[in-house]
Amino acid sequence: MNALRNKVQLIGHLGNDPEIKNLEGGKKLALFTLATNESYKNDKGEKVEETQWHRVKAWGKTAEIIEKYVTKGKEIAIEGKLTHRSYDDKNGEKRYVTEVVASELLLLGK
């Protein structure tokens, strides 16, 4: 049951080309945003579409696959976990970030 405690699955389209960082020791990091869409009917029976944007990061082999095959607009499915962190911006204000750390990737679409 422990594997189910923090698990996220998303299917969406990339909002930008992935940012690839090569770190010390040859470790690779991919950063990108993923848009997921949901539609429903409101009280008036009108169709409403909502887009949610998710910050995603991937390490190692997953980042290498993203670097080779994933570009802006591409539809992908990811699985990973949610992480939260904070940092102080250049003005000294505390900022909070929620990200998905992707561990699995599936290329969809054409």
Q: Please write the tens of the pLDDT for every residue from 9-58.
A: 999 999 999 999 999 888 999 999 999 999 999 899 899 999 999 999 99
pLDDT of 109 reads 76
pLDDT of 3 reads 61
Question: Please, what is the average pLDDT of the chain?
Answer: 92
- Cβ 78 vs Cβ 108: under 8 Å: no
Domain holding 14, by residue range, is: 2-107
User: Dihedrals φ, ψ of 67, to 5°?
Assistant: -60, -40
How many domains is the chain partitioned into structurally?
A: 1
pLDDT of 66 reads 95
Angle at 93 (CA atoms; ends 20, 36), nearest 5 degrees: 45
- Cβ 106 vs Cβ 80: under 8 Å: no
Instruction: Indicate which CATH number applies to the domain containing 25.
Output: 2.40.50.140
Residue 71 pLDDT more than 90? yes
pLDDT of 26 reads 86
